[in-house]
Structure formats: C-alpha cells, structure tokens
C-alpha cells in the first residue's frame, strides 16, 4: 500500500484568504475583525494624564495651604531658622535626650486625655473608675500602662538631659536662661509625678502622698503653707483628690507646654553647644602651634 500526499490547498485571491465560512455550514463568509489599536492607546494616555493631574493636585493643595498660612502669619522665616540650623561637629545620641523628654511629655498628654474620659476624681469613685478602665474599657489597661510607665520614663529622661547639659557646659553664657527654664521644668515634672501618684486612690498611693505632704510641711517658711495648699486644708479629705487632679491635669501641663516652647525658642536662637572634648582638642592644637 502506497502513501499518497493529500491534495494541495487551492490558492485563491486575497479576498478569499481574508474570509472563512461561518459556523452555520452554509458557506457564508464573514470578514475578520481586528482590534482598533489607536483607540486603546488614546484611552491609556488619557488615564495616565488623569493620574498625573491627581498627583499634581495632591502636591499643590498642601503647598497652597501652607502658603496661605505663611502669608497671614509670617511664620515661614522662623520655621526655616528653627528647622534649618547649623549643628556643631561631634553631635551624638546624647543630644537627643531633650527631644526624647519632649516626646515622653506628649505621650503623657495624649494618654492622659483618654484616661480622663473615664476617670472620676471622687473619693468614693476614683478607685472603682480605675478598675473599670483596667478591666472593661477597650485597650484601657494598655493606655493606663503607657501613662504609668511613661511618667517614670519622663523623669529618667529629664534627669539624663539635665546631667548631659551640666557636664557638657551648656548652662554657661549665653544659655543661663535656658538652664533656669530647664530646672523649672525638672521641678514641674516631679510635681506632676507626685500629683498623679494619688489619682488611683488606693492604699499605697494614699499613704505615700500623706508622707510626701508631711515632708513638704517641714520645709522652712513656705513649707506649712505649701502643704496646706496641696491638702486643701489641715488634713487629707475629698478636696485633696480633686485638687491634685486639677493640678495634675490643668496647671502643670499648661506650664510645662509654655516653658517647652520658650526652651525650644532659645535653643533655636542660641544654637547647640559643641561637646567639650572638641574644645579641648582645639586648644591643644593651638598650644602646639605656638611652640
């Protein structure tokens, strides 16, 4: 048996090649449809142009808003001088202690606001409100823990910052006023820690505050008057808790915020002190050159 090749395909004209029979089997032909490439390209270009316009608008809106505020307040030069300033050579992580203390204060302020929404400064309801925050409020235990341990962190950071300022000689001329403000901020931080310690109003916080007030009363001249002012009278009572709450929530944070603003202004105006070892090396080089 011989294998014969199949019949050759008949070559027709160009129109026959571009036509094929439809699925009905009746021999009718339909023209092949090709996609319209120029239309799809135009649509893609329009989409890309729309995305670019959105990006430009997203950038122009905040810039225009800042320009509007700057035109009416004139705060642009101050912000440029505050943000873009020279930093002395040798600046290291010790110089971040002040900023860390400020952010610890901001954390205390934010968490304190949320705790104040549920806390009740009453001698009969304070302890129960704290337990309610710990056990029933959503994320209440986390927020109270951040506030409680954040107070300890802030006290540690401000002591480290003051120690760094002292040992680096940053309290000398012309920064004496800034050093005084820092000392006042340290005292206010300790007072805020003391007044906040009483607010849970349990046995430990109550008797610890009694001891602290009695120690304050032993101070010379102003001691007894200051102790009476803190207690709200000669003895501890319901007024003491509300007074501590007002001092802790309103008086001390307002003073700290105002003094931090003055402190930052002086830092931006007077600059930052270089590390003392750089000054010592410079003096040593000059003495060798003279020899």
Domains of the chain with CATH codes: 6-84 (no CATH), 94-270 (1.20.810.10)
For residue 279, what pLDDT band results from cuts at 50, 70 and 90? low
Average per-residue pLDDT in the chain? 84
DSSP 271: -
DSSP 157: H
For residue 28, what pLDDT band results from cuts at 50, 70 and 90? very low
Helix (H), strand (E) at residue 29: strand 29-31
* Residue-by-residue DSSP string for 221-242: SSHHHHHHHHHTSSS--HHHHH
Chain segment 132-170, per-residue pLDDT in tens: 999 999 999 999 999 999 999 999 999 999 999 999 999
pTM of the model: 0.74
d(CA 111, CA 109): 6
Q: What's the pLDDT score for residue 29?
A: 47
Give CA separation, 6 vs 9, 17, 156, in Å: 9, 20, 96
Of 24 and 90, the structure prediction assigns the larger pLDDT to 90
Q: What's the pLDDT score for residue 30?
A: 47
pLDDT at 268 > cutoff 60? yes
Chain segment 205-250, per-residue pLDDT in tens: 999 999 999 999 999 999 999 999 999 888 888 899 999 999 999 9
């Amino acid at each position: 048996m011989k294998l014969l090749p199949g019949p050759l395909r008949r070559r027709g004209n160009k129109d026959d090649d571009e036509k094929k029979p439809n699925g009905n089997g009746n021999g009718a032909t339909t023209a092949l449809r090709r996609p319209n490439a120029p239309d799809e390209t135009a649509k893609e270009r329009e989409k890309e142009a729309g995305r670019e316009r959105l990006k430009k608008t997203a950038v122009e809106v905040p810039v225009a808003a800042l320009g509007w505020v700057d035109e009416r307040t004139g705060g642009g030069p101050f912000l440029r001088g505050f943000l873009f300033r020279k930093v002395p050579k040798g600046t290291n992580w010790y110089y971040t202690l002040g900023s860390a203390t400020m952010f610890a204060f901001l954390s205390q302020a934010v968490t304190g606001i949320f705790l104040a929404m549920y806390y009740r400064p009453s001698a009969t309801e304070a302890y129960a409100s704290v337990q309610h925050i710990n056990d029933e409020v959503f994320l209440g235990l986390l927020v109270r823990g951040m506030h409680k341990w954040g107070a300890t962190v802030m006290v540690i950071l401000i002591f480290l910052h003051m120690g760094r300022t002292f040992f680096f000689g940053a309290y000398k001329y012309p920064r004496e006023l800034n050093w005084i403000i820092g000392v006042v901020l340290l005292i206010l931080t300790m007072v805020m820690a003391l007044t906040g310690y009483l607010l849970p109003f349990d046995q430990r916080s109550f008797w610890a505050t009694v001891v602290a007030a009695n120690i304050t009363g032993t101070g010379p001249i102003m001691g007894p008057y200051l102790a009476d002012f803190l207690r709200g009278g000669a003895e501890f009572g319901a007024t003491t808790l509300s007074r501590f709450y007002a001092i802790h929530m309103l008086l001390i944070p307002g003073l700290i915020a105002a003094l931090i603003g003055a402190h930052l202004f002086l830092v931006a105006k007077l600059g930052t002190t270089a590390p003392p070892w750089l000054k010592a090396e410079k003096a040593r080089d000059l003495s060798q050159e003279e020899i």
